[in-house]
Amino acid sequence: MPILPIDAGRYGTKEMKEIFDDQKKIMYQLEIEAAVAKSQSEIGIVPKSAAQNIAQMAMSGRISVKRVKQLEAKSDHDTAALVEALSEICKVTAKPWIHYGLTSNDLVDTSNSLQIRDSLGIIEPKVARLAMILAKLALRYKDLPAVGRTHGQHASIISFGLKFANWALEMSKHVERIEEIKKRILICKTLGVVGTGSLMGSKALEVQKRVAKKLSLYPADVTTQVVPRERYAEFVFSMALIGATLEKIAVEIRNLQRTEIAEVAEPFKKGQMGSSAVPVKRNPVKSERVTSLSKLLRSQISVSFENIPLWHERDLSNSANERFILPTTSILLDDMLETMTRILSELHVNEEKIRQNLELTNGQIFAEFVLDALIKKGVPRFEAYRDIQRIAFASSENGTDFRDAVKDDASISSHLTEDEINNVFVSEKRLGASRQIITNVYNKVRKSCSRFS
């Protein structure tokens, strides 16, 4: 009976969850056994006939989760059970050479690397795809003036596309980060009990190098019995960092979907219910889901950091929790990427409401540009600042239009003509370098992410 929502199918894609399936884990570890035996035979450590039989049986598909668990019930050791299951189907002449020179964590850590390798193979293209979706949205709305908000208050005018450009570039940076961390986290370790390669001696590093190449991993330079847990901490942190960017996007969508703002809305399919009690509601539940999962994803970081300081060459204080944090990290992020991609692919942008919101302060959003116009006429900054502030506060209290108040105040009109004042209050002229910024971002994102399209 499924207990966790991940097990029940509520979160995570089938392709991602299959990577962490029990049978798949066994297949990864058997693949390592096969690669080790082949590599050892290539340089004369193991007889070629024995290595051939070990590799053939390891990849035969004959070793099941059920059989491994039966053997584990006796030995109380999952890796020993797997090795015993392999030994059961190998030739007598091959049996002595199974798992030769290895220790449990050679299989555990290297199979973790294989799982991480394949999970990144799913995650990275999705990150790149999302970056491109955002970049295209940035281009689409680059000429649309919108309210820029700081501290939750109207501050100045931005291009609505600039929101998407900011997110697009960060997502493309995550693609770069994934590429960068691979050489540090996709580690192959076959150096035995305490990391010396004791039984294989001077040939140990060559075996490891060959195994790593066969598995598309990077050979460890130095280890104890385990791969340093800094590597896993970096993986978890990097995935949580992507999650935090997704959460940042989700929070902005949730805020912009507020009834009072209503500039965007999540897709809402036919038959969907926003509330069990209020029929008219269209809640941003998908963005809230991303926000919620990001909190859980981020919590995995602290556990991964706690696993770094182990006793001497190793202990087991990391082992049990890593069975949770590595799959949980990958599955949660994959689900978040899927959800955010659906949101942004069908995001409803209310351009009319965006334009209406520009007028909510009766023109006060142009205050920055009035100040700039006065400075360019030679008015000292703080003198101009105080005059504009006085006029703005008074017009707010009186409910009058800020542009009219500016025209009527001698401290302003003595420096600016009516045409000059009117020219200030044109939102399309107040986008600064937004268009060029967005174009630059689009080109950068396309360059770094196009290979995944």
The set of catalytic residues is 151, 275
Kindly list the distances between the CA atom of residue 123 and the CA atoms of 4, 116, 164, 332, in Å, as whole numbers in the listed order: 22, 10, 20, 11
Sign of CA dihedral 421, 427, 428, 431: positive
**Could you please report the per-residue DSSP string of 370-411?**
HHHHHHHTT--HHHHHHHHHHHHHHHHHHT--HHHHHHH-HH
State the Cα–Cα distance between residues 413 and 387, nearest whole angstrom.
Answer: 11
Neighbours of 280 (CB within 10 A): 6
State the Cα–Cα distance between residues 201 and 179, nearest whole angstrom.
Answer: 33
Pairing of strands 145-150, 153-159: antiparallel
State the Cα–Cα distance between residues 266 and 286, nearest whole angstrom.
Answer: 8
State the Cα–Cα distance between residues 387 and 364, nearest whole angstrom.
Answer: 13
387's CB contacts (< 8 A; 6+ apart) are: 374, 409, 411, 412
State the Cα–Cα distance between residues 438 and 141, nearest whole angstrom.
Answer: 10
State the Cα–Cα distance between residues 23 and 65, nearest whole angstrom.
Answer: 6
State the Cα–Cα distance between residues 138 and 133, nearest whole angstrom.
Answer: 9
Beta bridge partners of 149: 154
Name the CA radius of gyration of the chain, rounded.
30
State the Cα–Cα distance between residues 29 and 31, nearest whole angstrom.
Answer: 5
Q: Where are the beta strands (DSSP E) in 128-207?
A: 145-150, 153-159, 187-188
State the Cα–Cα distance between residues 27 and 423, nearest whole angstrom.
Answer: 70
Total number of residues shown for the chain: 453
- What is residue 451's DSSP assignment? G
Q: Is 348 helix (H, G, I), strand (E, B) or coil?
A: strand
Kindly list the distances between the CA atom of residue 367 and the CA atoms of 358, 375, 379, in Å, as whole numbers in the listed order: 13, 12, 15
State the Cα–Cα distance between residues 130 and 108, nearest whole angstrom.
Answer: 33
114's CB contacts (< 8 A; 6+ apart) are: 28, 31, 32, 215, 217
What's the token pair of residue 207? 């075996």
